[in-house]
Amino acid sequence: MKIIIIGGDGFCGWPTSLHLSKKGHDILILDNLSRRKIDIEINTRSFTNICSIQKRIQTWNSLNDSKIEFKLIDVAKDYHKLKTIIQEFNPDSIIHFAEQRSAPYSMKNEDTRNYTVNNNLMATHNILNSIIEVNKNIHLVHLGSMGVYGYGTISDVIIPEGYLDVKIKNKNGQEQIMNILHPSYPGSIYHLTKTQDALFFQYYTKNWGIKITDLHQGIIWGLHTEETKLHPNLINRLDQDSDYGTVLNRFLLQSVCNEPLTIYGTGEQTRAFIHIQNSVECIHIAIENPPPMNDKVKIFNQMTETIQLNKLTSIIQKIYPDTTLQYIKNPRKELIKNNLEVENKQFLDLGLKPIYLRNENFIKEIYNELTKFKGNFKIESLQPSSFW
Ligand code: USQ
């Protein structure tokens, strides 16, 4: 297959590009390198030593028969260039990672709120607009977020995969069942853009019949995939700062650096998680199982388990008993405590083998790898820096 990966230099995009290339697909990465620029803006850096995109690709292409290409483009700003690239490359699928993905960054100030809305919504719309102009057969796979559902907003309900059956009374008082998109409960401007994406997708499938898959992903943990391990130049980024660093990876590197784990609030928040290796496998499954044309948007919950933050810290302390904890007044507006159960049957039925947090080997692998990069720790990245 020919696949364009937009946002292919990022934390999810890069290992996905390698995984799909390894499977023999022709990959073209489009990226504006904005994650690298935001690191400079917020005075942080990846905890790991990542190479330039050119060096990454040169290394991969020297090791593999199937090659990766790269083009620098801001798809949110340059619609016509995007359309031309899609025309010339003629992909079977496009994978869309090109969004500002940090909730805290999106809530930092007026400029980051504007940037997140402009970037994310225009990127999504430009891609959809190009697909209907160039070739309606292209399958679009979009990385969405579990956060679009809220986190257990409807009590005792297992979050379904995108859609909900609701009973509506008609004018004669009779009940009708309707299958609707799950209501949106975003908790940040970033999550709000993902809920807006869902409406773009619903409309584009309804009006033009195109094939769209939306992956509602939980919090990623882990660093390596089978492919990023193949050469030091292929290593993935790992965010340490309080805007982009996600909770478990941050806790692990805090433990490695002998700093206390920064638990926001009481630590009774429950969230959905997935290992980065499982994430790239899910995207591969999604690419191979497009919905038919003129169908509704196919929605998967891309997660493997839910767990409370306090349980995460116990897992780390059990393996590394010297680890200490610091409870911090929650910088975010979120429920103090929540339950969360999530349906993920579709990926399991299609063969996904989950990597669970109870498998200590995976935690130890990340921890050991991170010890090599202790010198990159930035103490100023430890405490929260966005508040809402
Ligand atoms: N948290 C801490 N301490 C920290 C960092 C976070 O207690 O040092 C807490 C937060 O308050 C929150 C939870 O951990 O309750 C998760 O925070 P996070 O920063 O790991 O994740 P989040 O902001 O939800 O966003 C991340 C990704 C986003 C993705 C989302 C999936 O950045 O792109 O969409 O996870 S989900 O959370 O399922 O919506």
**In terms of DSSP H, where are the helices of 152-188?**
none
Distance 73 CA to ligand 1 centre (A): 28
- pTM for this predicted structure: 0.98
How far apart are the CA of 246 and the centre of ligand 1, in A? 5
Answer whether 218 contacts ligand 1 (Cβ < 6 A). Answer: yes
Structure tokens of 199? 């409406």
| Within-domain flag for 332 | no
Q: What is the helix (H) or strand (E) element at residue 224, kind and residue range?
A: none
Report whether residue 312 contacts ligand 1, using a CB cutoff of 6 Å: no
Please identify which residue in the block is written with the tokens 């994430």: 279
- Kindly give the confidence (pLDDT) of every residue in the chain, 388 residues in length, as a single tens digit, with 9 standing for 90 and above: 999 999 999 999 999 999 999 999 999 999 999 999 999 999 999 999 999 999 999 999 999 998 999 999 999 999 999 999 999 999 999 999 999 999 999 999 999 999 999 999 999 999 999 999 999 999 999 999 999 999 987 888 999 999 999 999 999 999 999 999 999 999 999 999 999 999 999 999 999 999 999 999 999 999 999 999 999 999 999 999 999 999 999 999 999 999 999 999 999 999 999 999 999 999 999 999 999 999 999 999 999 999 999 999 999 999 999 999 999 999 999 999 999 999 999 999 999 999 999 999 999 999 999 999 999 999 999 999 999 9
Number of domains in the chain: 1
CATH code of the domain in which 121 resides = 3.40.50.720
Whether residue 35 has its Cβ less than 6 Å from ligand 1:
no
As to burial, measured by CB atoms within 10 angstroms (0-12 exposed, 13-18 middle, 19+ buried), residue 353 is: exposed
Q: Has residue 327 been placed in a domain?
A: no
Specify the amino acid at residue 386.
S
CB of 254 closer than 6 angstroms to any ligand 1 atom: no
Which atom, in ligand 1's list, is nearest to the CA of 264?
A: 7
Cβ distance 4 to 30 under 8 Å? yes
Torsions phi, psi for 24 (to 5 deg) = 100, 5
> Does residue 220 line the site of ligand 1, with CB under 6 A?
no
Task: State the residue range of the domain holding 127.
Answer: 2-237+275-303+340-355
The reply to whether 260 falls in a domain is no
The answer to the question of residue 172 being in a domain is yes
